[in-house]
Amino acid sequence: MLTVGLIGYGAIGKDVAAYIKENKAGDVKLEAILVRDKQKYQDLDNAALFIDNEAEFFQTGLDIIVENAGHDAVFQYAKKALSSGSHFIVVSVGAFSNTDFFHKIKGIAKQNNRRLIIPSAAIGGLDRISAASLNGLEKVTLITKKPPKAWKGTPSEKIVDLDALQSPFLLFEGTAKESAQLFPESTNVSAALGIAGLGMEQTNVKVYVDPSIIANTHKIVAEGFFGKMEINIENTPSADNPKTGYIVAMSVCKTLNNLSSHLMIGI
């Protein structure tokens, strides 16, 4: 059985913890959850798992650490996680739009013989994009659309009046690297797609606010020597955080299942 620690206990962390408890994440056990203030969680059934001391958390001897707390958490804890002997699953992949940081963390993973793991999270097709990149992948485009409520509390509020929108509004057009840096809570998918394929600066991204939809949608279009691919995804937004979807926690748990199982699917 593999031991797991979580960094953060927001919408994604809560769902990951629940799936592990329900034995839906493979042969793993949740051992610790790193938060800023453990006193906030003392009324929960799993209160004993919460730790607000970084040194204590990283000395627990965890097999796998899962980050689901935002870009700052990746910058702060990636090196510590990998150096502590844990594999590191990153949800906030947009932090790796800092390419120097990304290469540094990959090097640390290699030095410590640990894995830096990027789950599919809110999108699909990363396995196919990664495979296609081996020979003649020519073009990758991501079109992301989310309803106005998913953009509340983001820099988009300085660009457009979210409450007044009557039709889709093109919020951003550019590279995956730029989108991940501009919207760190909302477009981690673009960074993951860039890493899997042509690189973040060669991956085209369009981002829309769309008042006509209720789901968070992603359309991936790719072509190259392998042929052509088009994937359309509609994710149900999380009630606790509409910027993300329930599928993200499911993807993390699928990754945990792969790491602890003798059968791997979709690698």
Report the CATH number at residue 254.
Answer: 3.40.50.720
Residue 266 located in a structural domain: no
Q: How far apart are CA 259 and CA 243, in angstroms?
A: 27
Confidence of residue 225 (pLDDT cuts 50, 70, 90): very high
Q: Is the pLDDT of residue 185 over 80?
A: no
* Residue pointed to by tokens 């968070």: 216
- Residue indicated by tokens 């392998």: 226
- Please check whether residues 44 and 155 belong to one and the same domain: no
Do residue 114 and residue 17 come from a single domain?
A: yes
| Within a domain: 227 | yes
At 251, which amino acid appears? S
Question: Which residue type, as a one-letter code, is found at position 125?
Answer: G
Mean pLDDT of 156-178: 94
* Count: domains in the chain: 2
Q: Are strands 64-67 and 50-51 parallel, antiparallel or unpaired?
A: unpaired
With a CB cutoff of 8 Å and minimum separation 6, the contacts of 48 are none
Q: How confident is the model at residue 215 (pLDDT cuts 50, 70, 90)?
A: very high
The CA radius of gyration of the chain, in Å to the nearest whole number, is: 18
> Please, which pLDDT band fits residue 162 given cuts at 50, 70 and 90?
very high
Q: Is residue 187 pLDDT above 90, yes or no?
A: no
Residues spanned by the domain of 205? 126-242
Q: Say if residue 132 is in the same domain as residue 93.
A: no
Report the amino acid identity of residue 136. Answer: G
Based on the fold, state whether residues 209 and 226 are members of the same structural domain.
yes
List the catalytic residues.
218
Is 111 part of any domain? yes
